[in-house]
Chains A and B, each alone.
Chain A
């Protein structure tokens, strides 16, 4: 169970470890550089986006607050006009109708009240109009802007607002003709504040007073709970027909600020400027640049290691046993450089050793050869043999002389250097000498015959093919104290397809070869392989025959155990 569980993990690890270095680098690049960079950059990007937006919203809010402050200041300036009126004794006297004489009233009006009114209107451009509604029934109505209280449309106000009039209240309302009425209402008191003399109404120009909000490029909406809704846009104040909910887009950040004095709330939708978008794009470019930079850095660092390892690997792969070249590309002094350096040293050492071994082998061979030559000195040997032979000849010992002649010829043939191809006749003569020498040993136990049945003057064969076969015969086939016949025949080949060949049959009536041995031997001859240890001579002959004449010229061995053996060599007449 445990094993079954462990296996998939191990296979994954093994699969990863088996990957080519390039793939490993790519996987490492994705895991170590690409994914973290993208995650970090994305989170940084989204966070910074948030911060920038927040800061922008705050700025906007600050701007709105400043506008509100300006707005309040203007309202206070207008409220200050009330203070001027309320502290004017002549006006109070006029309102309370203290002057019995109308002439005095007119005088008072013209002397001080009218200039006050004119001054206030002139000095304050926001003020459209000033009206005073007088409670005193006696007061004359010599001016239009001072009217009896009956003219005051008190129902414009709800109950709480009516109380507000004591302290001063800003009231905004739409008129029937769709114009806006934006006014300040406050009671005017008698000198000792024991009586309310009238209500003062200062009507201001709404579009002018809302200019405090002109700094904002966005549309600003003003609204309150009673259904009043204003829209301020580029210095123009209008009353839209729709509700506030429809005007403010839902998916945008909304800034709102209460204007306590006038019981309104200012609201605007934040529209992020294009500059912010550029900021975003530049951030994206920055992210990309960082990403590219990191990627390049990663590849530079990894390639500084892997490039040389890969080159080394390729180099080793391409170098064969007989061509070990040292690495030639630039190496630095890091571990990889050390590795390459060690490899080069190793190669040099191996090359040295190969060279040494090769040289030694060559020298040994030379030495052996010279030793052999020094020991034997063929020419010296022939001379000695010739000496002995001629001695025998002189004494009439022809048999001895002939034996030595055979031996010397046999040796001369075998000592030949650099001979690969010879005439079959030479080879047969050599075989005869060889057999003659054997005959001196086996005497009457060996009968030898060589019989040629065809013209073989031009037939050639590889050097030294008959002797190994005959040696094999003497090694394996001889039965002690029994006469053996060896017959070599050379005939035209009568088999189909071999009309241009001659066959050399070597018969013996010795022990013969056992069936199984024969089968394996013939198989190794057919396939031209070295299998058995016993027939190295035959296999060597076979190998040279087939490489000289072709595959179909392999040796054929036939044998009946106890009866004898026949080895057949095929040779081409035309080669």
Chain B
């Protein structure tokens, strides 16, 4: 994924680049530009998938840049990152078809989340994602995107979906979402019929299964880190517990 960051403050540009690079899944190719005109020149070479730009910059404003890039068909997706929450800025940005308007201080998680969404919606990635079909066994039949779920439960599931690769516990969920841990357990149990650990394992195992089947070069240790178990043994234990087989066995059984 090619990302163009346009920001006159070098520190901030670097920081954002760092945040995005830290996310293993994205694996972005980042170009930094310190003003709008330079950004247009660079865009002509790299044709970025996404441009993240400030509004107030010397020589050219971020909004003018968006307009220019869009008219030049150099880039189609934009995120505005600014200190201003002026209404007319937001309005203009929305008119130009900007995907999101983020205020400084930028929320790292939110930024990553949006970039990830954009990443997944790119044609090649999208094809990738959808082609990754899991074996048709009862365990994977669980559906977690039900509109009847209360907002907080959807938030919980969303959060786990985005952060399963990290060390998640009820505690971290509670701290992050301000919901009490008991209330989270209750919510999950009440609406899905499963426990929090089951849910977490389910999401991680699903991801691990994807990786096992479609990323044949990855080692099981690597996968255990990517899905948040952080060591091979815990992955084994989870597979054994939930699917009654080892990851290796699973790979052998279902890979074509």
Interface residue ranges, A against B (CB under 8 Å): 378-380, 382-383, 385-391, 393-394, 404-405, 408-409, 412, 425, 428-429, 432, 450-455, 457, 489
In the bound complex, do residue A452 and residue B178 qualify as a contact, i.e. CB atoms below 8 Å apart? Answer: yes
Q: Which of B6-14, B212-220, B228-236 contacts A (4 or more CB under 8 A)?
A: B6-14
Residue of A nearest to B13 (CB): A390
Q: Which residues of A contact B179 (CB under 8 A)?
A: 451-453
Instruction: Give the shortest distance, in Å, between B19 (CB) and chain A (any CB).
Output: 6
In the bound complex, CA of A385 to CA of B178 (Å): 25
Q: If A391-B15, A451-B174, A452-B152 touch, does A386 touch B180 (CB 8 Å cutoff)? A: no
B16 proximal to A (CB < 8 A)? yes
Task: For residue B46, give the distance in angstroms from its CB to the closest CB of chain A.
Answer: 22
Q: Which of B85, B150, B174 has the most CB of A within 10 A?
A: B85
Interchain CB contact (< 8 A) of A451 among B12, B16, B108, B180: B180
Of residues 56 through 106 on chain B, the ones whose CB sits less than 8 Å from some CB of chain A are: 56, 83-85, 103-106
A382 touches B83 (CB 8 A): yes
Near A by CB (< 8 A), chain B positions 89-135 give 103-108
Chain A residues contacting B106 (CB-CB under 8 Å) are 386
State how many residues of chain B have any CB contact under 8 Å with chain A: 30
Whether the Cβ atoms of A383 and B180 lie closer than 8 Å is: no
Distance to closest chain A CB from B111 (angstroms): 12
Query: In whole angstroms, what is the CA distance A455 to B83 when docked?
Result: 31
Give me 20 other A-B pairs in contact (C-beta within 8 A), A390-B13, A432-B178 excluded.
Answer: A379-B83, A386-B9, A386-B106, A390-B9, A390-B12, A390-B18, A393-B15, A393-B18, A394-B14, A394-B15, A405-B107, A408-B104, A409-B105, A412-B103, A450-B178, A451-B181, A452-B180, A453-B180, A455-B151, A457-B151
CB-based contact B178/A390 at 8 Å: no
Q: In the complex, are the beta carbons of A390 and B152 less than 8 A apart?
A: no
Query: Once the chains are docked, how many angstroms separate the CA of A251 from the CA of B19?
Result: 136
Any chain A CB within 8 A of the CB of B254? no
Instruction: In the A-B complex, list the 7 residue pairs whose CB atoms are closest, starting with the nearest.
Output: A390-B15, A451-B180, A408-B105, A382-B83, A379-B83, A457-B151, A393-B15
User: How far is it, in angstroms, between the C-alpha of A453 and the C-alpha of B181 when the chains are bound?
Assistant: 9
Q: Which residues of A contact B183 (CB under 8 A)?
A: 451-454
Check A389–B15 contact: CB distance below 8 A.
Answer: yes
Would you list 27 pairs from A and B whose C-beta atoms are within 8 A, ordered by A residue? Answer: A379-B84, A383-B9, A383-B12, A385-B104, A386-B12, A386-B15, A386-B104, A386-B105, A387-B11, A387-B12, A388-B11, A389-B105, A390-B11, A390-B15, A393-B15, A394-B15, A405-B105, A405-B108, A409-B105, A428-B178, A432-B178, A451-B180, A451-B183, A452-B152, A453-B180, A455-B152, A489-B180
User: Is B180 a contact partner of A390 (Cβ separation < 8 A)?
Assistant: no
A409 and B102 CA atoms in complex are apart in Å by 12
Q: A386, A391, A405, A412: which has the most chain B beta carbons within 10 Å?
A: A386
Q: A452-B180, A452-B183 are in contact. Are A386 and B18 (CB under 8 A)?
A: no
CA of A383 to CA of B107, assembled, Å: 14
**Known contacts A390-B11, A451-B178; is A385 also within 8 Å of B151 by CB?**
no
> Per a CB cutoff under 8 Å, which of B16, B150, B177 touches A390?
B16
Given the complex, which residues of A lie within 8 Å of B9, measured CB to CB?
383, 386-387, 390
A396 to chain B, nearest CB (A): 9
- Of all chain A residues, the one with the shortest Cβ separation from B186 is A453
Using CB atoms, name the residue of chain B closest to A412: B103
Q: Which residue of A lies closest to B86 (CB)?
A: A379
With A452-B180, A453-B183, A457-B152 as given contacts, are A378 and B83 in contact (CB-CB < 8 Å)? yes
